[in-house]
Amino acid sequence: MMESGVPVCNSCGEQVGINANGELFVACHECNFSICKACVDLEIKEGRKLCLRCGAPYDENSLDDAEVKVSGNRSTMAAHLSDPQEGGLHARHVSSVSTVDSELNDESGNPIWKNRVESWKDKKNKKKKTASKAEIKAEKDGRVPSEQQMEDKLSADAAQPLSAIIPIPSTKLTPYRAVIIMRLIILSLFFHYRITHPVDSAFGLWLTSVICEIWFAFSWVLDQFPKWSPINRETFIDRLSARFEREGEPSQLAAVDFFVSTVDPLKEPPLITANTVLSILAVDYPVDKVSCYLSDDGAAMLTFESLVETSEFARKWVPFCKKFAIEPRAPEFYFAQKIDYLKDKVQPSFVKERRAMKRDYEEFKVRINGLVAKAQKTPEEGWTMQDGTSWPGNNTRDHPGMIQVFLGHTGAHDIEGLELPRLVYVSREKRPGYQHHKKAGAENALVRVSAVLTNAPYILNLDCDHYVNNSKAVREAMCFLMDPQVGRDLCYVQFPQRFDGIDRSDRYANRNTVFFDVNMKGLDGLQGPVYVGTGCVFNRQALYGYGPSSMPSLPKSSSSSCSWCGCCSCCCPSKKTPKDPSDVYRDAKREELDAAIFNLREIDNYDEHERSMLISQMSFEKTFGLSSVFIESTLMENGGVPESVNPAALINEAIHVIGCGYEEKTAWGKEIGWIYGSVTEDILTGFKMHCRGWRSIYCMPVRPAFKGSAPINLSDRLHQVLRWALGSVEIFLSRHCPLWYGFAGGRLKWLQRLAYTNTIVYPFTSLPLIAYCTIPAVCLLTGKFIIPTLSNLASTLFLGLFMSIIVTSVLELRWSGISIEDWWRNEQFWVIGGVSAHLFAVFQGFLKMLAGVDTNFTVTSKAADDGEFGELYIVKWTTVLIPPTTLIIINLVGVVAGFSDALNKGYEAWGPLFGKVFFAFWVILHLYPFLKGLMGRQNRTPTIVVLWSVLLASVFSLVWVRINPFVGKAANSSLSQGCISIDC
């Protein structure tokens, strides 16, 4: 946010205020520690009369005359979105949700946004003139939690922090850092030896290997050093409840808007999407604070109809979950648990109600599966709704925007008569000739729709196959976001991804444990984890392009000349010479956003000339688009629907903001919302936020917050990795590349920059990796080697390098707690993905970004087996499989050729053979899961494969010995002559 000239209290997060003389309130004149009078009074009442920072005694004389200045406005959420006729539980028509052309002008022809902003200014000015000090004090008392004001209401839990950092013990972390430094030194000595000792007989192989090794060392540095300061975190949900949920009082917890995105219901089963929605509606959080938005980017009637059924079943499922506190609250996965469901359930009615609920869910599945079966064949005339009208989304590329509110204030209650969370179906408008930006565009549409309808201050986005596994996950995130000390500069809370349905050995590293349990913990000790696309709770203001309120002021020079800053590519010269640091900061923020982004708390700090400049049609249109309701919602720092908005007109305004032309000539996708320009919009969006100075937090509850589905067969897994790597290449070739973007201001930490650099350059490791995996086979086939005869010093360096690699990995396993099997699977798939998907991503990225050629590597199903992990054994063909298959074959042939040559040459050839075979086996061991995936079903092929392998190896060996390719013709001639003379 744009920060005013009044500093913020380091204890409660409110503004410090001014004293009776109109000067800034200062409690400690020694260090000028920012703390408000209310918090100082609390400290003194508890017997602590010393400054929290320097320990100097407070000046109690100045405390008596101090008063608190109030700013800001907190509006409550509107009670109704629309009348019951517009959105109900059984509304199977969307006549009220077709595209509506928003009236942008009133009867006199003046823009509505201008009238609205002018009326808002008049109300603010009038309120400012008539408000007395007593009223300001009363407003302050109503906004701040009572435990910060009155000692008699202060509970011990509420006064304590909502979270705590648990640092890694120094006994684990210090040796780890020491080994990293030692490995860096050994690497330097190793490269000095390699470069000063070329192999003249195999100069090409030697040069290639050295270049590859230098790149591997560089990529290791990018991956290793961001893990320098890993941390763990702990949350205290009970303290959160004690502070914001007092008995007999309305809950003060912040509202949360859930986003669920889906495209094709035939590829993303509606039953799985329904389970995700049901788990959200049943989450352990106040129902009036939860809203679920489902984005149907394919405009499928199947998705709409399945959501109708889901909303009906939710009336039974939600009260059942909350009554018996079951986990997880996705019915498909709850009923599939192989546990004693009677454990800890003492209610006599539980068994009876559970059986009834399971029957209801089976009937619900039958209805959903019936809808899916019906949707397999599209009628020639298109889909028709029950009221006889044509489904607006019959043409998926040319259809109006659609919104339907199913549950909430205007919908039906549950079977016990209690309110349900709001459930909204959204399908944005699609028209030919417009760029829709896939998932990122759909998410931005949801941001605008939710801002108009509910405007919760926090947003949680989930993929359609990621259900809420821990009903208290939102409370876990609120322990960070609602903490006045931690949450001020927090843009999002990222949860790790956990998956169901993966085989025990995790053959293709689907769990990605090393990344989620090692790398992300390391980033949490820096500026925060990267955004991984799902399971993330956002601060809505961060999505609007604001900077954090605690961000330091920029130097004067930065606002008087053009330079690249942390959140835009270029800045405009300041039009007004700043008079004080607060003016410098406001000018810098104005330059960064290149538009007027502000909030109610600070608008009073501007004079009339500055207000007229900020509140201008051009600046608003350029930033947020032409929607008066949405623009006003962005001013609500703490969420809520503006009081001046007519609830009956919200649906029409929501339709307007999801129009396909709404984002044109605005900052959407450039500076605000999900950022466009890459298929991995998640990395890009989080990177932009960190460049603005925000930080993120990694939350790992004991019970996983969310669980999803992962592609477990080889081809689908490689195709997924290909998409991720392609997105990284696109970012590398864009203006947002971390190598050159966002240096001014120093808001992005250097180790954080290294981590982001690693996320966009790792696909290029495929080029040296595939060369390095080919070298062992070439050495075995040609009889040459990349390393000269080793001396004692060289042997020591090689041994030290291998030992440092092993010790680094062991210590990393020690502090992270992951298993050696997870680490080994990660290492194997690093090679498998590197020589296949990453390689294709590099070429596809350059073709797409430089030549405009968009290639596609399709995956086709060939055969499948039944069983729990039947998908694991599906054999699919894709072009991505060619490079690793080739590497396996040539290395196996090379090993056979090497042993044959050693047998032919005699004892002295076995020494050099050992080094060559070692590297070849390194390649084969890393590609073993790939080879196993090609062989098919587990426990069926090993015997026959071993027999055929032995037979083929024997044949190859005999043929190789007979051909003897490494002995020249002259040598053969002299050898035969020698033999003849001996025989004679």
Helix or strand (DSSP H, E) at 291: strand 290-296
411 in the same domain as 302: yes
Distance CA 255, CA 272 (A): 25
Q: In what order do the strands lie in the sheet with 706-709?
A: 467-468, 706-709, 498-500
More confident residue, 928 or 567: 928
Do residues 303 and 270 make contact, with C-beta atoms less than 8 angstroms apart? yes
815 in the same domain as 706: no
- Residue 570 forms part of a structural domain: no
Distance CA 711, CA 878 (A): 15
Q: Return the pLDDT at 63.
A: 55
Q: What is the sign, positive or negative, of the torsion defined by CA atoms of 177, 178, 181, 182?
A: negative
Burial of 623 (0-12, 13-18, 19+ CB in 10 A): buried
793 in the same domain as 701: no
Per DSSP, 875 falls in state E
Per DSSP, 517 falls in state I
436 in the same domain as 289: yes
Q: Return the pLDDT at 234.
A: 92
808 in the same domain as 702: no
**Which of 24, 43, 62 is the C-terminal boundary of a domain?**
62
| CATH for 296 | 3.90.550.10
Q: Which residues contact 344 (CB under 8 A, 6 or more apart)?
A: none
Question: What length is written for the chain?
Answer: 984
Q: Is the peptide bond prior to 328 cis by the omega test (within 30 degrees of 0)?
A: yes
Binding-site positions for UDP-alpha-D-glucose read: 261, 267-268, 297, 438
**Residues 464/465/469/474 CA torsion (nearest 10 deg):** -30
Q: Return the pLDDT at 873.
A: 55
Q: Return the pLDDT at 853.
A: 67
Q: Which residues contact 951 (CB under 8 A, 6 or more apart)?
A: none
**At 81, is the pLDDT very low, low, confident or very high (cuts 50, 70, 90)?**
very low
Q: Return the pLDDT at 197.
A: 87
530 in the same domain as 450: yes
- Residue 515 forms part of a structural domain: yes
- Residue 923 forms part of a structural domain: yes
Distance CA 742, CA 749 (A): 11
Q: Return the pLDDT at 716.
A: 80
Domain count across the chain: 3
- Residue 974 forms part of a structural domain: no
521 in the same domain as 407: yes
More confident residue, 596 or 278: 278
> If we measure between CA atoms, which residue out of 810, 943, 953, 840 comes closest to residue 892?
953
583 belongs to the catalytic site? no
Residue 87's alpha-carbon distances to 405, 539, 598, in angstroms, are 5, 28, 33
Distance CA 451, CA 540 (A): 9
288 belongs to the catalytic site? no
837 in the same domain as 701: no
Q: Return the pLDDT at 570.
A: 35
Of the chain, the percentage scoring pLDDT greater than 70 comes to: 68
Binding-site positions read: 261, 267-268, 297, 438-439, 463
- Residue 635 forms part of a structural domain: no
> Of the residues 483, 489, 682, 901, which is catalytic?
682
Which whole number is the average pLDDT over 372-393?
84
Do residues 17 and 67 make contact, with C-beta atoms less than 8 angstroms apart? yes
487 in the same domain as 366: yes
Q: Please give the structure tokens belonging to residue 743.
A: 């240096």
- Picking from 378-392, 432-446, 927-941, which range would have the lowest pLDDT averaged per residue? 927-941
Q: Which residues contact 255 (CB under 8 A, 6 or more apart)?
A: 77, 288, 289, 290, 291, 454, 456, 457, 458, 639, 640
Q: Please give the structure tokens belonging to residue 377.
A: 């064949």
- Picking from 41-55, 299-313, 702-716, which range would have the lowest pLDDT averaged per residue? 41-55
253 in the same domain as 353: yes
820-834 vs 910-926: helix crossing angle, rounded to 10: 90
| CATH for 34 | 3.30.40.10
Q: Please give the structure tokens belonging to residue 979.
A: 């033999």
- Residue 448 forms part of a structural domain: yes
Domain assignment of residue 290, given as a range: 238-375+384-548+668-710
344 in the same domain as 483: yes
Burial of 431 (0-12, 13-18, 19+ CB in 10 A): middle
Q: Hey, what amino acid is at 940?
A: R
- Residue 598 forms part of a structural domain: no
Q: What is the sign, positive or negative, of the torsion defined by CA atoms of 734, 735, 739, 741?
A: negative
Binding-site positions for Mn(2+) read: 439, 463
**At 906, is the pLDDT very low, low, confident or very high (cuts 50, 70, 90)?**
low
> Of the residues 297, 483, 587, 594, which is catalytic?
297
Distance CA 733, CA 679 (A): 13
423 in the same domain as 504: yes
User: Strand, helix or coil at 148?
Assistant: helix
Q: Return the pLDDT at 351.
A: 84
- Residue 326 forms part of a structural domain: yes
